[in-house]
Structures are given as structure tokens and as C-alpha cells.
């Protein structure tokens, strides 16, 4: 394993002591409160889980602007995406404005219980130009048709910054008890397995055969002891396959097609940004904090539509300082079924081309399923296809 980003040890902000957490939860009910956005609640989960090590809370305007402009905090720490708690005017009550501490309430859990207690370092209001600059730098666009831009644009202009203490992991621990894991837990599991070199794979989709083979190629080429399949469990755009279905299909694939004790299937509680290159860098930070030594960045990583080129998310790693991250990147090429090789290949490694190739993608997989057609064996393993087809049949009916 490698050390966490910017720290010798993880700095999870979850209050682990039961008595202290119970006392803080009780206090939270007496504090002025803010109903935060889904994105801010997910960031609280990531802060609590240690994935955002070494951050201590939400950024202020100067910090968020520095991250957007230069991919580093004013103190010099590399960080690719602002972590902000933006709130609309109606949440900025007189009680909140005058408070030193506020309770942050979870929009994704019934009754909106407190997810964290925040020490209010500053309450600032963005000017439109300031906020738009951050959006454009983060997403490469301010187009409201981009699936990630509205989540930043529509949550208000008031920024609450300061350190937080996290009380729970929102709905992720209860809804995904077998899959949701903190960075702390993943490091403990890796150590228990005796793995030293670990390659991580990020997914928001069910894994088709190209994903499967990409993991195997990466493990083989870097000589890794194991693979961390790390799926996003938070909010997605309409049309993406729900986390529970993805989880089941990935588990079926690993059970039947990977050797025992070579894969750890886990998930993390964050909403998808669809920020392409910037999000790829953030994903690398997460996996370094998990202890992984290598991270797979494939074609159109964390992308959406045609907003990014197919390998922009790889190229951005060449633009950051060499010492910004300790984790190493494994760069995936277009992965296809080659009719002549009769197997999944990365195009850069195959002597064939053109009509020899059958293209595989998550988009194509979803299109076939939505049309009610069976998935061909070149795209999905039969055990995986069965789960996905059952889901789409339920949705259509």
C-alpha cells in the first residue's frame, strides 16, 4: 500500500466514539440547521470516510477558486475539484448567520437527520462571475445540458465553509451494507488480504466484458496482487443503471470469472460529477487514500456525451506536477472483441483492425437492453446479462 494523499495517515472526520457521537447528535438537534444539497451531503460522507484526506471540511471562496484555477489549495496541496457547501438564500436564516456551529441536515434520508456538525469559519456569497469561473474550470463548460453543471449551478450562491464532524454515512451504510466501505475499511481489508500492489477500477456502470478484461490486463501488466473494484453508489443521471443492479451484476461476474481472493468489491458514497478529466484526478485521490498503488483510467473516464475527448482524462495526468500524486495510472485503450483473436483486446495490443473488431461500450449495452434485445456474449457474460435483462424487463413492463 501507499500512504494517503498529503498525509502520513488517513484523517476520516466520522466521529467514531459512540458516546461522543451520541452527544454530538443530541447537540445537533439544538443547533441552527441547514438542509444541504445532495452533493454537499455526499461530500460529508467522503470527508467522514477518509476519502477526502487530508481535508478537514468545506472550502471557502478563495480555496475553491484556487482549486478551480490551479488544482491546488492556497497552502499548495494538490486538489482537483472544489469541495463546497453551497446553500440557497432560504437556508441562510438569521439564526444560521449568527451561529458559530450549525447542523447540516441530509436531504437524502427521511426526516432529514443531521449528517454533520459544522464550525462556521465563513459565510460568503459568490458573484455570478466567480461561481461561473469555478463551474467552467471544473467541467470545461457551463452548459446546463451537461449532467453535472446543474448540480453546481442550482444550489445557490451562498457558501458555508469550515471544518465538520460527521455523524453518519447517510443512506449508504443501510442501503448497501455488503458494499459500502470507508477508505479506512478498505485499507484494513487490503492489509488482511496480504496485498501489497493493488490496481483500482472505478465504475458507475455494470461491468461488461471489456471492463472485465481491462482489469485483468492491468493486473497482469503491473503485477498486482489484487484488484479493487470500487463502484459509485450515489446519485447518477437519468438512464444510468441503479447501484443495486450494478452491484449484483459485478458480483456475478467476479464470482464466475476471477480467481478467488484477487478482487475486492466495494463502493463509496458520492454523487457522480461527470466532470471528465478533473473527476479522473479526484478518483485517483480517492484510490490513493484507499492504499491502491495503481488506478485504471480508461476511455472517456467520468465523461458525459461529447463534452470530453476519449482520452482527455488520461492526458490531464501529464499536466499535473510529477509529485502531485503517488498513485500510478494505468492507461486503458479502446477495448474491443477481435473476431480474429477471438477474445477481448486493447486495440493498441492487437495487429488486426477495422472489420475485425466488435466495439463494446456501456452505451451500446444500455441501448441493446432498452430495446429488449439479448446481450451478445461479446458484450456481457451470461450471468451478468441475465441480471441486467431482468432489470430492464421490469422497467419496461
Catalytic residue IDs? 204-205
118 near 47, Cβ under 8 Å? no
Q: The C-alpha cell of 368 is what?
A: 441493446
Residues in contact with 247: Cβ distance below 8 Å, sequence separation at least 6, in sequence order: 176, 178, 179, 231, 265, 267
- Omega of the bond leading into 54 within 30 degrees of 0 (cis): yes
Cell of 219: 493486473
Rounded CA gap, 307 and 276, in Å?
Answer: 8
Which residue, among 102, 349, 368, 159, has the nearest Cα to 376 in the 3D structure? Answer: 368
The number of helices, as runs of H, and strands, as runs of E, in the chain is: 14, 15
Burial class (CB in 10 A: 0-12, 13-18, 19+), 257: middle
Helix 243-257 to helix 382-396 angle (10° resolution) is 160
| Residue 312 main-chain phi, psi, to 5 deg | -60, -35
Q: Within 13 Å and on the Cβ side, how many CA atoms surround 21? A: 14
For 237: left if phi > 0, alpha if psi spans -120 to 50, otherwise beta; the answer is beta
Residue 44, helix vs strand vs coil: helix
Question: Residues 86, 151: contact at Cβ < 8 Å?
Answer: no
C-alpha distance from residue 358 to each of 11, 213, 215, 361, 373 (Å): 45, 15, 19, 10, 17
* Contact (Cβ atoms closer than 8 angstroms) between residue 247 and residue 160: no
Q: What angle do CA 218, 182, 110 make, to 5 degrees?
A: 125
**Is the torsion defined by CA of 37, 186, 166, 77 positive or negative?**
negative
Amino acid at each position: 500500500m501507499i500512504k494517503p494523499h498529503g498525509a502520513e495517515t488517513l484523517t476520516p472526520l466520522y466521529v467514531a466514539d459512540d458516546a461522543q457521537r451520541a452527544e454530538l447528535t443530541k447537540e445537533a438537534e439544538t443547533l441552527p440547521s441547514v438542509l444541504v444539497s445532495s452533493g454537499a451531503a455526499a461530500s460529508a460522507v467522503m470527508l467522514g470516510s477518509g476519502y477526502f484526506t487530508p481535508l478537514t471540511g468545506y472550502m471557502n471562496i478563495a480555496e475553491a477558486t484556487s482549486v478551480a484555477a490551479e488544482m491546488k489549495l492556497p497552502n499548495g496541496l494538490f486538489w482537483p475539484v472544489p469541495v463546497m457547501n453551497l446553500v440557497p438564500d432560504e437556508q441562510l436564516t438569521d439564526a444560521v448567520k449568527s451561529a458559530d456551529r450549525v447542523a447540516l441536515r441530509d436531504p437524502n434520508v427521511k426526516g432529514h437527520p443531521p449528517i454533520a456538525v459544522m464550525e462556521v469559519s465563513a459565510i460568503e456569497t459568490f458573484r455570478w462571475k466567480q461561481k461561473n469561473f469555478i463551474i467552467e474550470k471544473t467541467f470545461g463548460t457551463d452548459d446546463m445540458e451537461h449532467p453535472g453543471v446543474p448540480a453546481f449551478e442550482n444550489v445557490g450562491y451562498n457558501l458555508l465553509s469550515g471544518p465538520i464532524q460527521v455523524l453518519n454515512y447517510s443512506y449508504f451504510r443501510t442501503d448497501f451494507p455488503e458494499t459500502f466501505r470507508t477508505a479506512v475499511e478498505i485499507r484494513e481489508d487490503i492489509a488482511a488480504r496480504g496485498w501489497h500492489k493493488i490496481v483500482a477500477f472505478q465504475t458507475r456502470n455494470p461491468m461488461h466484458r471489456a471492463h472485465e478484461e481491462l482489469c485483468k490486463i492491468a493486473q497482469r501488466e503491473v503485477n498486482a496482487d489484487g484488484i479493487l473494484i470500487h463502484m459509485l453508489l450515489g446519485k447518477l443521471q437519468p438512464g444510468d443503471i441503479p447501484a443495486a443492479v450494478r452491484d449484483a451484476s459485478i458480483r456475478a461476474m467476479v464470482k464466475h470469472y476471477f480467481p478467488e481472493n484477487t478482487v475486492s468489491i466495494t463502493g463509496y458514497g458520492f454523487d457522480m460529477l461527470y466532470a471528465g478529466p478533473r473527476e479522473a484526478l479526484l478518483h485517483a485521490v480517492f484510490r490513493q487514500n484507499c492504499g491502491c498503488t495503481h488506478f485504471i483510467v480508461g476511455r472517456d473516464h467520468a465523461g458525459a456525451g461529447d463534452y470530453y475527448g476519449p482520452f482527455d482524462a488520461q492526458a490531464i495526468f501529464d499536466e499535473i506536477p510529477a509529485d502531485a500524486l503517488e498513485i500510478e495510472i494505468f492507461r486503458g485503450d479502446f477495448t474491443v472483441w477481435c473476431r480474429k483473436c477471438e477474445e477481448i483486446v486493447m486495440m493498441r495490443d492487437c495487429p488486426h483492425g477495422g472489420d475485425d473488431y466488435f466495439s463494446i461500450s456501456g452505451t451500446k449495452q444500455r441501448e441493446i437492453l432498452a430495446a429488449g434485445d439479448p446481450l451478445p456474449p461479446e458484450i456481457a457474460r451470461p450471468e451478468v446479462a441475465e441480471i441486467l435483462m431482468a432489470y430492464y424487463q421490469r422497467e419496461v413492463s
